[in-house]
Amino acid sequence: MNRDPAQIVALGDAIVDVLAQRGEDFLVECGVLKGTMRLLADGEAETLARAMADSGAVEEVPGGSAANSLAGAAALGARCRFIGLTGGDRLGRLFKRHMADLDIAFDTPAHDSAPTGRCFILVTPDGERTMQTSPAASHCLTADALDEDAIRGCDTLFLEGYLWGPDTPRAAMRRAIEIARGEGRRIAFTLSDSIALPGRRDSILQLVRDGGVDVLFANEYEARLMSGIDDFDGAMRFLSDICPLPVITRGAAGAVAMSQGELIARPAARPDAIVDTTGAGDQFAAGFLAALIAGRDVVQCLDTGARNAAAVLGHVGARPLKKMEL
């Protein structure tokens, strides 16, 4: 394990992805709407887990938006530390072991009663992902669990939008922001998914307006929801007025960023194949941040993000399969 100070410290959901390739008929039978992301109660999670296990092969792979991004950043050579909460169970041990294998520091003590969170990802033959998530222990993260020294010593604090909803982890994130701001560290925030916006949009907007975010990651749909403006150019102008560096992905149309009043647009990288879209946004953020802390300009950051996103599209799962180059 690399013991040098982490360049990126991330707070996010410590979740294990339960992946399966299923036909659309399976989604209909389980009452799951294709292409959506929904939070599950514990009982619903158990029901879906049994149905998936009974219908064919499943794969358990540690996930979580920010943790996936750290996997990508570490593959690009960045030193990373993760702060998140698992349960003290088999899946929690699996998550911790995978982080160690990736040379990502992770030593947050496990929760003593809640189970490790799970994200059930159903991939249909067209590569579309449908995500059903049971956060469990991950949403029990408290400020007491923060590694304050690591936050003080990092280059970038990276925050995951999924974790912003519940009061307890939100308080932990606010404390992390306070620590990072006190040391003049960069703060990046990913909206993660449009499901992370209802009920929390106003508080995220206030955080950004108050100077709590330097780099804001979103996809085009999230940018429209966040700004309340349906026109993309208008949404981009709105976000650039409140954030120094908004970075918006647009799928096959590439990505754009606004830096110091300049709109910078770059094309998407062409993947060899599209097998699974899971984690493409997480890996874009990973590439962008890894390039940013390496001192690259915004154009290079966008291009690195695009290459990183394209690389993960060719296999099932949200994390890179090998080391990458900036």
- Residue 271's pLDDT is 86
Distance between CA 193 and CA 131 in Å, rounded?
11
- Per the CB < 8 A criterion, the answer to whether 45 and 137 are in contact is no
CA–CA distance, 161 with 33 (Å, rounded to integer): 22
d(CA 322, CA 188) in angstroms, rounded, equals 25
Q: 31 - beta bridge partners?
A: none
User: Is 308 strand, coil or helix?
Assistant: helix
Q: What pLDDT shows up at residue 4? A: 82
Closest CA to 95 of 172, 7, 18, 3: 18
Using an 8 Å Cβ cutoff, are 81 and 48 in contact?
Answer: no
pLDDT of 63 strictly over 70: yes
In angstroms, the CA 136 to CA 65 distance is 15
Please report the sign of the dihedral spanned by the C-alpha atoms of residue 88, residue 63, residue 160, residue 22: negative
Q: How confident is the model at residue 3 (pLDDT cuts 50, 70, 90)?
A: low
Share of the chain above pLDDT 90, in %: 79
Other beta carbons within 10 Å of 323: 9
**Residues 208, 228: Cα–Cα separation, whole Å:** 15
Judged by average pLDDT, the poorest of 66-80, 104-118, 122-136, 203-217 is: 122-136
Residue 321 — pLDDT band, cuts 50, 70, 90? Answer: confident
In three-state form (DSSP H/G/I as H, E/B as E, the rest C), the secondary structure along 216-236 is EEEEHHHHHHHHCCCCHHHHH
pLDDT in tens, 190-211: 997 666 677 889 999 999 999 9
Taking the CA atoms of residue 280, residue 284, residue 290 and residue 294 in that order, the dihedral angle to the nearest 10 degrees is: 150
What integer pLDDT is reported at residue 195 of this predicted model?
Answer: 67
Q: Kindly state the percentage of the chain with pLDDT values over 70.
A: 98
**What is the predicted pLDDT for the residue at 314?**
84
State the residue for tokens 């990126």. Answer: 8
| Whole-prediction pTM | 0.91
pLDDT over threshold 70, residue 292: yes
C-alpha distances in angstroms, 258 versus 119, 158, 218, 246? 33, 19, 13, 6
Q: Name the residue with higher pLDDT: 172 or 40.
A: 172
Fold of 8-14+65-109+140-313: UDP-N-acetylmuramoyl-L-alanine:D-glutamate ligase (3.40.1190)
Q: What is the pLDDT of residues 228-275, one digit of tens each?
A: 999 999 999 999 999 999 999 999 999 999 999 899 999 999 888 888
133 vs 42 pLDDT, higher one: 133
Tell me how far apart the alpha carbons of residues 80 and 95 are, in angstroms, rounded to a whole number.
Answer: 15
